[in-house]
């Protein structure tokens, strides 16, 4: 009975670390989305994309900087999650085949048979893991922030000066 309790405890740790991963990821995702929303809203002032905007440039830098601890925290949590699954496989009672064997083969993208039925992940599901896809999201945010920082930095061209209404009125007389 002790092996069953060890396996149950290992599965609880898998759930805990899986939840921790998504909570950490979600926390950073919300903060990054708020920053990106602020940044994109600041672009709507009609002066063109390439212009020196200190607020937008600062927000883009903050977003890029926050992508580093976001990626580091996600990788750390992913490592714990993988460790907990390895521990659960090691603690799994023989012939249970719930997290090791068939399940591990299925997770790796191989076709498996359970109770006479064949199962296999689809092509896109096999191409990238759920947790690895988080890195793609983080990289996407970082690239968008870098592009916006380049477009809104002090080296960006300033918008053309708009003629005053008095000068326009006088020239039409």
The pTM of the full predicted model, rounded to 2 decimals, is 0.79
141, 32 Cβ separation under 8 angstroms: yes
The secondary element (H helix, E strand) that includes residue 113 is: strand 112-114
Provide the H-helix boundaries in 43-129: 54-91, 102-107, 123-127
| Domain interval for residue 143 | 2-158
Report pLDDT digits (tens) over 4-57.
999 999 999 999 999 999 999 999 999 999 999 988 888 776 666 778 888 889
28/22 Cα distance (integer angstroms)? 10
Structural domain includes residue 167: no
Structural domain includes residue 168: no
Structural domain includes residue 30: yes
Structural domain includes residue 27: yes
- How many distinct structural domains can be found in the chain? 1
Report pLDDT digits (tens) over 133-152.
899 999 999 999 999 999 88
Structural domain includes residue 147: yes
Euclidean distance between the first and final Cα of the chain, in Å? 98
Q: Is the pLDDT of residue 60 over 60?
A: yes
Name which of 146, 156, 158, 167 is nearest 63 in CA terms. Answer: 146
Going by C-beta distance under 8 Å and a sequence separation of 6 or more, which residues neighbour residue 159?
A: 47, 48, 51
Structural domain includes residue 166: no
Structural domain includes residue 173: no
88/83 Cα distance (integer angstroms)? 9
* Across 85-92, average pLDDT: 94
Structural domain includes residue 163: no
């Amino acid at each position: 009975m002790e092996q069953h309790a060890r396996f149950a405890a290992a599965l609880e740790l898998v759930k805990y670390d899986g939840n921790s991963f998504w909570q950490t990821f979600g926390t950073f995702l919300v903060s990054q989305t708020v920053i990106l929303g602020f940044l994109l809203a600041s672009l709507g002032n009609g002066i063109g994309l390439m212009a020196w905007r200190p607020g937008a440039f600062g927000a883009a830098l903050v977003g890029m900087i926050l992508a580093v601890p976001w990626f580091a925290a996600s990788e750390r949590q992913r490592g714990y999650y993988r460790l907990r699954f390895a521990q659960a496989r090691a603690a799994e009672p023989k012939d249970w085949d719930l997290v090791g064997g068939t399940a591990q083969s299925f997770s790796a993208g191989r076709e498996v048979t359970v109770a006479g039925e064949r199962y296999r992940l689809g092509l896109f599901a096999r191409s990238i893991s759920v947790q690895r896809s988080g890195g793609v999201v983080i990289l996407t945010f970082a690239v968008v922030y870098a592009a916006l920082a380049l477009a809104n930095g002090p080296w960006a061209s300033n918008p053309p000066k708009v003629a005053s209404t008095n000068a326009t009125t006088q020239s039409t007389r």
